[in-house]
Structure 1
C-alpha cells in the first residue's frame, strides 16, 4: 500500500511539473509574440517617420527670425492692410528679461531645458490627458521648439495637422536643437509669436500694450504677455471684459510657482494687480502701416479675409501673400461713417453688423463689424460671428417667393390678415401692434411686413416646397 501511495504521489508531482512547464512555455510564447509585435510596430513607425521626414522642407536661421509681409488690396489695387515685419521689433538677447523667459517656459514647455526638440514624456502625458479627459493645467504635446518650427515653415490651419506634418515638425525641431542653443530658440519664439491686434513678437506687444520695452515691465505684465500666444484675441487686455485675460495671467504665475521660478508670495502680489494696469492708450505710438485708409475702417473686412486665408491653410502672418479683394473702399468708408458718426443711435450700447453685397455678382464689397470698437483690432465681427434671427427677410424668400413660383400667385393676390391659430396648437399669431387689417394684397403684406399673411402663404405652399425653393437659392436652413 505504501509503495502504491508513493507511486501515486510521484505521478501527481510529475503531472504538476508538466502543467507548470506547459503554462510557462505558453507564457513565454505569448511574451515573445507581444515583443515581436512591439518591435515590428516600432520598426514600422520609425520607417514611416523617416519617410515623412525625408520630404520635410528646409529650415534656416532666416526662417526662424524673419517674417514676410502679406499685403491686402481693395478692388482698385490700393493697399488696405499690411501684415508682417512693419509691426514687429526684434528683441535681442539682452532685451528679454529672465522673468519673461521663465514665464514662457513654465506655461508652454516645462521640460524645455531637458529635451532635444521632441519630448516623449510630454507627448505621453498629453495623450493620457486626452484619453481620460483631463485638460486643466495640462500642456499640449508640442515643445516650444516644435511650435517655433510650425510658426516658421508650416501652416497653422487645423486642417494641416496631419501625421505627416507632425513627423516633419518633430524632425525639424530636432535639427533646430542641434544648430541653435536653448537661449537662441527661446529668443526666436518670443520674437515670432502672434500677440493680437495685428502685431507679433513680445517686444512689439510690450510697446503696443504698455508703451514700454520688455525690460521695463513688471511680473504681472510679463506673465500676461507670456500667456497670450495661446489665444491672443481671447486674452486681449484691451477688451471690456478682462476676465479671461486675468485667468490666463494667473495660470502663468501659478505655473512659475510650480517650476520654482517665483515664490507663492510673489505670485500673489502680481495677481493682485489688474491686467489693465499700465495699459497705454496711445499704444506706444507704434507707426501706422502706410495704407490707403485708417485700419479701424477696414478692420472687419480684413479680419474676414484673414479667416478665409487661414481656412485654406495659409498663414497670412508669415507667407508673404498678395491678396486682392472686392472691397469698395468708398462704400466701406460710408458704412463706417454711418455707424460711427452720421446716424443717431439711441445710445452707444446699440450695435450693428452689416455685410454689403453687389447684387450683380454676389461680391461682398463692404462690411461692418460693430460701432465704436475703439482700438481693438480684429475684434468681434457682428456681420459674420453673431447669431441673429433672419427676421422678416424670410418672408419673400420662404413665403411669397415660393407662392409665386409654385402656386402662380400674382402680387395682387388677396391674403387675409385676420385672427389665425397655429395648426395643432392654441397659439394665436399676430403682429407687433396686435391688430389685424383684413384682406390685403401680397404686395401690401410684404411692404408692411405683416406676419399672418406670410404664415398663410407658407401654409398654402407647404414646408416641403418652401425648403426646396430655399435650396434652389443656395440658402442653408434648419427647421427645428
Structure 2
C-alpha cells in the first residue's frame, strides 16, 4: 500500500456521508416546507372554490339569451312603441358578420376558442399587468364566457366584485361552456351587452347608431360597436368622438394582433372618421315621450289583449294594430289642447273610441285627459259603466226608422 495514496477507511467514508447529509439537510427541509405550504394552499383554495360554487345561482338559457322587446306597429307599418324590460333586437349567429365576431374575440378574449370558460393564462397575465401597471394587454382576467355570466345573473357594480362572486362566475362559466357551443356563447354575448342610449345588443346598436343592420356595416363601424360595451357612455361617438376613435383603433390593433385583418386594412379603417355613417334618425329608441303620450290608452288596451292571449311584453313579437296616428293625435288634442272646447276644469275627464264603421277597426282611443300617469285608467274601455243614452240610436231610433218607418222629424 502506497503512503502517498492511502485508502480511506470505512469510518472516514461514513463520516463524509454524514457531513454531506448535514450540509444538504436544511435546504431539503426548506423545499419540503415550501411544497407542503403550496399543497395546503392549493387544497384550501380548492375547498373554498367548491364551497362558493355550491351556492352559485342557476343559469338558464332564458337568462343567457336575454329579453327581446315586442314591437307595436300602427296601421301604416311604423313602430310606435317597443315593449319589454330592455330595448333589444335579437340576432342569430348566422346573421352576425364574421368580422364582428373576430373583432369581439380579439378585443375581449383572444383565447376564447382555446379555453373552457376559465383561462389560467389570461388570469396570470392580468395579475402581472396589475402588478406592473401595464395596460398593453387591453384585457382583464375574465373570459368572454365569464363576462356573459356576469351580465346574465350578477350585478355589474364594482362593489359586488368579491372573491365569492368571482368563484361563482368561474364555476358557472365552466357550466355554460359544457352546455353550449362557442358560436352560441358568442351569439348570447353579442345580443346581451349594453350599447348605451337605452339599447341592448349590437344589432340594436347598429340600428340606433347607423340605422342599418349589422350585415350592412363597414369594418370601422363594426370595430366601434365591438369596443363599446366596456364603456358605452364614454365610447359614444356622438358625445365623445375622441374616446370613441381611440377605442375603435384599439379594437383594430387587437384584430391585427390576432391576425384577423391586415395592418393595411386596419390603417384604412383608422383613416375613417368615427362619425362617418352616424344617423340622426334614431329608430331604435323606446319611443319619445310625446309619442307615448299620444298612444298611451291604445297601447294599454293592446297590452291587455296580448296578456289575455298568454303573451308577454318581452316575447319578441311584432304586433300590427289598426291605429291611425293622424286620427289618434287629433283625438288626443281634442281631449287635451282644443281651445274650442270649454272643459269645466282639468279634472274633467273623457273616454272616447274612434271606430271605422265599415270594418269595425279601432282607429284611435283616448282614455283620459290632463294626466301624467302612464297606462292609467282607460275610461274608453275600463269604466264598466252603462252606455246610457249613447245606445238609443242603435237600440231604439235605428230599428224604429228602419222597421216601423218612423219619421225622423218627430220627437
TM range (shorter): 0.5 to 0.7
SS state at 2:274 partner: coil
| Structure 1 contact 126–138 (Cα < 8 Å) conserved | no
Cα deviation code 1:187-230 (max 9, x no counterpart): 00000000111111000000000010000001000000000001
Cα deviation code 1:383-415 (max 9, x no counterpart): xxxxxxxxxxxxxxxxxxxxxxxxxxxxxxxxx
- Partner Cα separation in structure 2 for residue 260 and residue 127 of structure 1: 25
The alpha-carbon deviation at position 289 of structure 1 amounts to 3.5
Q: How many residues align?
A: 283
- Partner Cα separation in structure 2 for residue 104 and residue 113 of structure 1: 12
| Structure 1 contact 193–202 (Cα < 8 Å) conserved | yes
CA pair 244-15 structure 1, distance change in 2 beyond 3 A? farther
- Partner Cα separation in structure 1 for residue 275 and residue 12 of structure 2: 84
Larger radius of gyration: 2
The aligned counterpart of 2:275 is: 276
The aligned counterpart of 1:331 is: none
Q: Which has the higher contact order (CA 8 A, sep 6+)?
A: 2
Aligned structure 1 segments of 4 or more residues deviating by more than 4 angstroms: 2-17, 81-86, 290-295
The alpha-carbon deviation at position 67 of structure 1 amounts to 3.2
The aligned counterpart of 1:288 is: 286
- Partner Cα separation in structure 2 for residue 197 and residue 142 of structure 1: 25
Matches within 5 A, 1:273-422: 273-283=272-282, 285-286=283-284, 288-289=286-287, 291=289
The aligned counterpart of 1:348 is: none
CA pair 31-125 structure 1, distance change in 2 beyond 3 A? same
The aligned counterpart of 1:112 is: 112
- Partner Cα separation in structure 2 for residue 230 and residue 191 of structure 1: 15
The alpha-carbon deviation at position 92 of structure 1 amounts to 1.1
- Partner Cα separation in structure 1 for residue 127 and residue 266 of structure 2: 30
CA pair 222-42 structure 1, distance change in 2 beyond 3 A? same
- Partner Cα separation in structure 1 for residue 138 and residue 17 of structure 2: 52
| Structure 2 contact 191–201 (Cα < 8 Å) conserved | yes
| Structure 1 contact 82–291 (Cα < 8 Å) conserved | no
Cα deviation code 1:76-98 (max 9, x no counterpart): xxxxx999655210011121000
CA pair 82-167 structure 1, distance change in 2 beyond 3 A? farther
- Partner Cα separation in structure 2 for residue 4 and residue 18 of structure 1: 26
- Partner Cα separation in structure 2 for residue 139 and residue 19 of structure 1: 54
SS state at 2:272 partner: coil
The alpha-carbon deviation at position 4 of structure 1 amounts to 9.3
Cα deviation code 1:312-336 (max 9, x no counterpart): xxxxxx9xxxxxxxxxxxxxxxxxx
| Structure 1 contact 86–289 (Cα < 8 Å) conserved | no
Matched, 1:199 2:213: no
| Structure 2 contact 207–284 (Cα < 8 Å) conserved | yes
The alpha-carbon deviation at position 130 of structure 1 amounts to 0.7
The aligned counterpart of 2:64 is: 64
The aligned counterpart of 2:223 is: 223
Matched, 1:254 2:246: no
The aligned counterpart of 2:144 is: 144
Matched, 1:185 2:182: no
Cα deviation code 1:407-440 (max 9, x no counterpart): xxxxxxxxxxxxxxxxxxxxxxxxxxxxxxxxxx
The aligned counterpart of 2:74 is: none
For normalisation by structure 1, the TM-score amounts to 0.55
Structure 1 regions of 5+ residues with no counterpart? Answer: 70-80, 296-317, 319-480
Cα deviation code 1:142-171 (max 9, x no counterpart): 000000000000000111000000000000
The aligned counterpart of 1:232 is: 232
The aligned counterpart of 1:102 is: 102
SS state at 1:57 partner: coil
TM-align CA RMSD: 2.9
The alpha-carbon deviation at position 133 of structure 1 amounts to 1.3
The aligned counterpart of 1:19 is: 19
For normalisation by structure 2, the TM-score amounts to 0.64
The alpha-carbon deviation at position 27 of structure 1 amounts to 2.6
CA pair 19-84 structure 1, distance change in 2 beyond 3 A? farther
SS state at 1:275 partner: coil
